[in-house]
Amino acid sequence: MAAFTPKKEHRFSFGLWCTANRGRDPFGEETRDRLDPLTNIKELGKRNVYGFNYHDDDLIPFGASLQQRNKIIKETKKIIKDYAIVCSMATTNLFYHRVFKDGAFTSHDPHVRAYALQKVMKNMELGAELGAKTYVFWGGREGAEVDAAKTPGEAIKRYRECMNFLCAHARRQGYGFRFAIEPKPNEPRGDIFLATAGHVLAFIETLDDPERVGVNPEIEHSRMAGLNTYHDFAQCMEAGKLYHVDLGAQKPNRFDQDLRFGSEDLKETFFVVKLLEDHGWAGTRNFDEHPYRSENEQGVWDFVEGSMRSYLILWEKVKRFNADKKIQQILKSVHNSDPALELLMGRYTPEGAEKLKRHSFDPMALSKKRLPYEELDQRLQELLLGVA
Ligand code: GLT
Ligand code: MN
Ligand code: MN
């Protein structure tokens, strides 16, 4: 249906590592050939994807010469122009090379930490040149299996030191992007520091430049921890800290499955779309997920198109939900208001507190109010199932 055809204005984006994923897993080799980054960007652009994200090593092979690097940058810029696609987010690969086997920012070795900072600074320069609006930090190796070897407190201090250093550097260089830290509870490490959105929100407040830094929550990572993604995203947004989003699907409490957006738990995913769209999310609707290992190259593009299509369908469902008379009537009926009492509670005054102490309540009468959540949820269920 034409209504579910992606357009640039929908601001969809993908990580180059998603479409270039070759289907390797801890128990099996790759099942697809290497997709070179330039073709990758072109193919995304052709499908009306708005933006691409990259790790330094996704675009410029690790250890490339300056000449190779400059050639790739030149070609990338040309493709950006020709295919009307933007570089929406940049990030650093601080997890693949064996030098990071025990962490980057949290490594015990100052040489490794310094090398990590250098790798980030070099790529921030490129990210700024390509026009990225967000710079993501996913600390995949910042964790431990052996708690005797690392103290979390010390690791967090080192993490902070590195973030402060990079914020100062970005300010000094005049880079426009905001930083977004991406939480994940585990994998590849046994446990990863800054495990959830809540950990990241608390950590940000301890930084020298908290304004620059926000959260990049990922559906899969929240659900890996058995959390409600919608609640995670919403709390980040409420704190003014939703700086980027990673969309995908995941069965709860498992390894990072990175499934195609919308392919698991439609209801929770519906509320993520509703949150973003009801609040006029200005960032990209960014997918961070992998095609099934059983797919060939054609399947990679089916996966890209399917993700965007599912988002647009869910957005359509959001519009229906918001316009549905029955739903809106129930919502109205469950939201009571009492302006006098609300005023009393809204701002503390000693007099108000005394007044509240004297107020007479009838808890039994209050408890009798009907909350027709069965009907509400069933209505949503039917809407999602396509019969309402
Ligand atoms: C990796 C991870 C993702 C992160 C990427 C950014 S890489 O695929 O699982 O969630 O967002 O570094
Ligand atoms: Mn992930
Ligand atoms: Mn991610």
Report H helices in 148-239: 152-173, 197-204, 219-224, 229-238
Considering the domain architecture, whether residues 356 and 314 belong to the same structural domain is answered as: no
334 and 185 belong to one structural domain: no
224 CA → ligand 2 middle, Å: 10
Q: Counting ligands in written order, which one lies closest to the CA of residue 89? A: 1
Residues 334 and 312 both lie in one domain: no
Whether residue 30 is found in the same domain as residue 171: yes
Beta bridge partners of 52: 14, 87
Pairing of the two strands 191-192 and 143-144: antiparallel
What span, in angstroms and rounded, lies between the C-alpha atoms of 337 and 334?
10
pLDDT at 2: 67
Q: Distance from the CA of 138 to the center of ligand 1, in angstroms?
A: 6
Residue 270 confidence (pLDDT) above 80: yes
Angle at 204 between CA 202 and CA 207, to 5 degrees: 125
Nearest CA to ligand 1 atom 9: 256
For the segment 155-183, the average pLDDT, to the nearest whole number, is 98
Question: Do 145 and 185 sit in the same domain of this protein?
Answer: yes
Q: Domain containing 81: what range? A: 2-322
Residue 32: CA count within 13 A, CB half-sphere: 22
pLDDT digits (tens, 9 = 90+) for 200-257: 999 999 999 999 999 999 999 999 999 999 999 999 999 999 999 999 999 999 999 9
Is 247 found in the same domain as 143? yes
Are 233 and 153 within one domain?
yes
Q: Band of the pLDDT at 29, cuts 50, 70, 90?
A: very high
Residues 273 and 362 in one domain: no
Whole-number Å distance between alpha carbons of 201 and 209: 13
Question: How confident is the model at residue 280, as a pLDDT?
Answer: 98
Bridge partner residues of 15 (DSSP): 53
Residue 57, ligand 1, Cβ within 6 A: no
The reported pLDDT for the residue numbered 148 is: 97
CA proximity to 133, closest of 163, 90, 174: 90
pLDDT digits (tens, 9 = 90+) for 298-349: 999 999 999 999 999 999 999 999 999 999 999 999 998 899 999 999 999 9
The residues assigned a catalytic role are 55, 58
| DSSP code, position 215 | E
Report how many domains make up the chain: 2
Regarding the beta carbon of 138 and ligand 1, being less than 6 Å apart is answered: yes
Average pLDDT of the chain to the nearest whole number? 97
Q: What is the pLDDT of residue 388?
A: 85
Report pLDDT digits (tens) over 109-151. 999 999 999 999 999 999 999 999 999 999 999 999 999 999 9
CATH of residue 298's domain is 3.20.20.150
